[in-house]
Amino acid sequence: MYQKFTLLVFLCATACFYGQEKYEYDFYTNTNIETGYSYNFGKLNNKNFHLLSIGLNKTTYGGRHGGGYSYGMGTDIALNTKNFTIAPKVNGFIYYQFIVIGSELAWYTDFKKSSLRYIPIFGIGNAKAKITINPHVILTTKEFDSMNHGAIQLTINFSLDKKKRN
């Protein structure tokens, strides 16, 4: 009985090895134009703000389960503030399947006052599109009244140059 069981386990294990697909999962490196919309909310103001985001980023993405990273720079432009407000920023993200984790360093300014902010980012998506929650950690000028303490953001990347990575 023991010999028959051992033979059966061996045959099943061998069949499992032959049943595996041999498939090459490609990694790609993209240069993207990043566009996005942020709904900025929080307790600082009684008003919620709308921001338009635009920038450039470099993305490496691929693999069996979909993963990679990106880094880039851009700017946020406030659409409904009293004074014209922009925020130059640098960012980086890590993607794994549908989970997005990243951070930004942004300098919000209305050219009279400014505020440096670190923004940790958590959300769902991939290298093409993502929906994230962005709490703001205010590093300087806490009384800067042109932006609140957090945002929900939708971002879409449009590929400019796609290259297969070896």
| pLDDT confidence tier of residue 14, bands split at 50, 70 and 90 | low
Whether residue 121 is contained in a domain is answered as yes
13, containing H or E segment: helix 2-19
Whether residue 3 is contained in a domain is answered as no
pTM, to two decimals = 0.78
Whether residue 87 is contained in a domain is answered as yes
Structural domain boundaries enclosing 83: 31-63+70-165
pLDDT digits (tens, 9 = 90+) for 36-63: 999 988 665 667 888 999 999 999 998 8
Tell me the residue ranges of DSSP E strands in 42-147: 49-62, 67-78, 86-96, 99-109, 114-125, 129-135, 137-138
As a whole number of angstroms, the distance between CA 50 and CA 81 comes to 8
Judged against a pLDDT cut of 90, whether residue 7 lies above it is answered with no
* CATH code of the domain containing 35: 2.40.160
Q: Strand pairing partners for 163?
A: 29
* CA 78 centroid distance within chain: 20
The number of distinct structural domains making up the chain is: 1
Whether residue 11 is contained in a domain is answered as no
Whether residue 148 is contained in a domain is answered as yes
